[in-house]
Structure 1
């Protein structure tokens, strides 16, 4: 009986694992923002508390959120570029967008804006301003309010993909000769779903095979 229970538990684990592979990945359907450029409010907080960081006063508000092909980029403008020597976000160093006098706009890539974004900056304040020379690598948590940013929908993503395909087809058709029959090529390119179902078929087959083995063992144990 112990062997039988162990085998049934083993089959249950396999079945659960198969359904994990077959079921849709929730991360693939995570909410993203529609492509575009938006004003977004923010507050810089201290790295270890919810207190507003002194660095919050070094930046003009609102910031800019640039969404391009599903990637999120934040543009921050500092009015103390002489003091803030460099900045970096969670995905790397910030790049300069524009600079005029003591004002500089930088951009860096971010991910999920529903959580605070970690940011680092190298701050150097002259002695005559701070009373002593301040040279420090400062960390803050930037809290963005993305409530007013429109979310990308599956339909808009599909329309964007279809529009891109149409542009590519027109370009290819202009370059090809009439003998190449571009319509036949388009039919081949627009049929990617056939291969997508293959992994599911494999998992279903394995599941059915496991059930078959379980039935055989059940019958065998019943006779014993």
Structure 2
């Protein structure tokens, strides 16, 4: 009886792990525009890096043909003189999309395949006023539970123009067109775009109920046998 109960509990645990596993790849997301929160961590542990304050949240995600492109805004832009992200066996510079000298900010973008694991990055910080000049390795941890839909692509496969790295004017024009046909999608939480969450919960409830039922039944039989 104990062995059967342990097997059933392992099955339940496996199903729950699969259900709550974070989104990992762009294949899980329909083409469109999303936002996501994130935290900049230290390289050696999960402590928040001081660099976290230099990156504004949330980030934007543009999905086109199964490929994710992330855009982030950096404040104190003149301090963060270099920003590279993991690419293959090395690191690649992020692309600068726009800069605001008056606000001391810049928007950068890069491609990413995996949101479920922290993204290793290298930054260079220079503060001339205090003669500070250092290289750092940090990690970007994305909060997949915070993922929200801004707009979805048209059914013909057209996506937000900003995925090509064009000016923000193109982004505004594209977003207005998408918003007119996707009003109901704006601001919605994205838990799992391909799997019906309600269906998963039904299976989990049924499985847990079955485990409890058979466990109680076996316990009663055991008591009667005694």
TM-score normalised to structure 2 length? 0.50
User: Aligned match of 2:70 in 74, 87, 97?
Assistant: 74
User: Which range moved further: 82-91 or 96-105?
Assistant: 82-91
Q: Name the CA shift for 1:150/1:70 in 2 (closer, same or farther; >3 Å).
A: farther
Q: How does 1:13-92 map to 2 (within 5 A)?
A: 31-91=27-87, 92=92
The structural deviation recorded for 1:86 is 1.8
Deviations for 1:79-123, whole angstroms, at most 9, x for unmatched residues?
111011121112221001110011100001111101111111111
Q: Is residue 137 of structure 1 aligned with residue 135 of structure 2?
A: yes
Q: Structure 1 unaligned runs (5+)?
A: 1-28, 152-158, 165-224
Task: Give aligned pairs, total.
Answer: 125
Q: Name the CA shift for 1:82/1:146 in 2 (closer, same or farther; >3 Å).
A: same
Q: How does 1:96-135 map to 2 (within 5 A)?
A: 96-101=96-101, 102-126=104-128, 128-129=129-130, 133-135=131-133
Distance across 2 between alignment mates of 1:32 and 1:139: 29
Q: CA RMSD in A?
A: 2.7
Deviations for 1:36-91, whole angstroms, at most 9, x for unmatched residues?
12111000000001110000001111111111211111111111110111211122
The structural deviation recorded for 1:141 is 0.8
Report if aligned partners of 1:89, 1:110 keep a CA contact under 8 Å in 2.
Answer: no
* Larger fraction in helix: 1
Q: Name the CA shift for 1:30/1:98 in 2 (closer, same or farther; >3 Å).
A: closer
Report if aligned partners of 2:37, 2:147 keep a CA contact under 8 Å in 1.
Answer: no
- Please identify the structure whose Cα radius of gyration is greater: 1
Distance across 2 between alignment mates of 1:146 and 1:69: 20
